[in-house]
Amino acid sequence: MVMPDAAYFIPSHQPKPVLVLGTDDVASAVGWMLAKAGIPAVLVRDRALPVLRRTMSFDDALKTGSATLEGITAHATGHPWMGGTLAVTDQDPDALMDPMLIEGVIDARMQRRTVKADLRRALGFAIGLGPGFTVGVNVDLAVETAPEATGAIVRRGATIAAHGKSAVLGGVGRQRFGRAADAGLWWSPCAIGEIVAAGDVIGLCGGREIAAPVGGGLRGLVRSGTFVDANTRVLEVDPRGVRGQYAGLPPRATKIAAATVTALRELCGAARPIAAPRAAAWLR
């Protein structure tokens, strides 16, 4: 008779991971900082919003099995609680929102016009990034992502509502993004980092050409073969060209992530403690 592995019957004494909703550059920066601090984390892909800045994120782990960002490697896994220090999954986040599996949740999806549900539930903590969050209503703390208040921690009230403004890069705001006019499959032969001129055709969506809105380098490019909804951002141009940043942690995402970790520190000592007392030792 073959005895089953005893490990299946021995409860794990490892700290449960933090669930980070999103795999874009901001969510990845949050995951990076948690991993750097030795805090296990699981990034969950938002299937409704394709990742644009893929070389600034861990999202490609779901395509290649792993992805490395400035010395930290994330691995794709179907069992997020067994994925090591930093895991990436495309499982339904609702199925993972279980206090038996995770310590708490950080919503880094920045769904600008989606009504946000109460993330706190029975979890130890809930932190929301960007518009749509109200402290004490659907999160414990929030962090601003709007250009005029990036990285500010919201301890009372609501975050700034979505207003359509983008952070300025190389003197250009939201005009540097190319969007799909209609829903359809997105195809592009280009690569992130490639230098383009304004008007160059970067790809097709639903059979319609999408051109570079300004000249510079391709900072963001949704993966070719992805189905996207109408008005989805499918490309981003860095007007700085060869002087632009095309990989690694971008400054804005880093600032938001740093504020998020600070917010988590505050929650460790708050009246509503996070689920496991051992988690407070994460950030000492």
Quote the pLDDT of residue 97: 86
Q: Answer whether residue 51 is part of any domain.
A: yes
Quote the pLDDT of residue 238: 97
Q: What is the DSSP letter of 176?
A: G
Quote the pLDDT of residue 239: 96
Quote the pLDDT of residue 217: 97
Residue 274 CA to chain centroid, in angstroms?
A: 22
Q: Answer whether residue 246 is part of any domain.
A: no
- Residue 107 belongs to domain with CATH number: 3.40.50
Quote the pLDDT of residue 207: 86
- Residue 206 belongs to domain with CATH number: 2.40.50.100
Query: Which domain, by its residues, includes 33?
Result: 15-163+251-283
DSSP character string of 81-126: GGS-SEEEE-S-HHHH--TTT-SEEEE----TTSPPP---TTSS-E
pLDDT along the chain (284 residues), means of 10: 31 73 97 93 92 96 95 87 80 87 91 73 88 93 94 96 83 93 95 98 94 97 95 96 95 96 86 49 51
140 and 271 share a domain? yes
Counted domains in the chain: 2
Q: Answer whether residue 146 is part of any domain.
A: yes
pLDDT tens digits for range 196-218: 999 999 999 988 999 999 999 99
Quote the pLDDT of residue 5: 33
